[in-house]
Amino acid sequence: PLAGPLAVGAASVLDGVQHSLLQRLSTGLGALRDSKQLTERQRELWFAALEAAERRGEIRFAVTLIGASVIDARGISAATRLAVARVLERLALAPQLSSVLLDGLLVAPKRFREQRTIIRGDETEPLISFASIVAKVVRDRYMVRMARRFPSYGFDRHKGYGTSAHYAALEQYGPCPIHRRFFLRGMF
């Protein structure tokens, strides 16, 4: 995205619970997929179901948002490492008792000795899919709030991604405080 925070989600379940939770949730919601392959409505339904499961104590999840100013100051890689460390900290996991599955090229802090990075993990690992969904929903809701604060940019429609409408707004108004200047180099 050209604007808005980096969002990293994490989900935690006890060993042996994930499969039964997935089966129960999928019954009413359909197949679990990568958050980008779900419609906004489907993501919201999954999010509500995950919130209900969290209230029942079946899952815990957290999302960390890292703002554009940190991304610009430290770079996207360092911001991503910071986000992963923060979101795992928010779940208060015991590193020596936790197995961490990570999507893409993510890496957890070294104190989490048992960790595995899975390319396209959000397509194959339900727990990573859960984390992806909660991160996308929280970030999208944030961008809708930012659309009210910065109405000229249409954040409620494109969520900060580089659409033609977003580029047109940037041409007309220039960047606002939540734009990632690192990604706008050469434009302004």
pTM above 0.75, yes or no: yes
> DSSP letters of 82-112?
HHHHHHHHHHT--GGG-EEEEETT----TT-
Burial per residue of 46-76, b for 16 or more beta-carbon CB atoms within 10 angstroms, e otherwise: bbebbeebeeeebbbbbbbbbebebbbeeee
Per residue in 122-172, pLDDT (tens digit) is 988 999 999 999 999 999 999 999 999 999 999 999 999 999 999 999 999
Bridge partner list, 114: 99
Task: Yes or no: say if 127 and 101 are a contact pair by the CB < 8 Å rule.
Answer: yes
Say how far apart CA 105 and CA 107 lie, in whole Å.
7
pLDDT of residue 24: 82
Phi/psi for 138 (5° steps) reads -60, -45
The separation between CA 124 and the C-alpha centre of its own chain, rounded to angstroms, equals 17
pLDDT of residue 179: 97
Q: Whats the size of the chain, residue-wise? A: 188
Per residue in 89-110, pLDDT (tens digit) is 999 999 999 999 999 999 999 9
Per residue in 22-70, pLDDT (tens digit) is 888 887 787 787 888 899 999 999 999 999 999 999 999 999 999 999 9
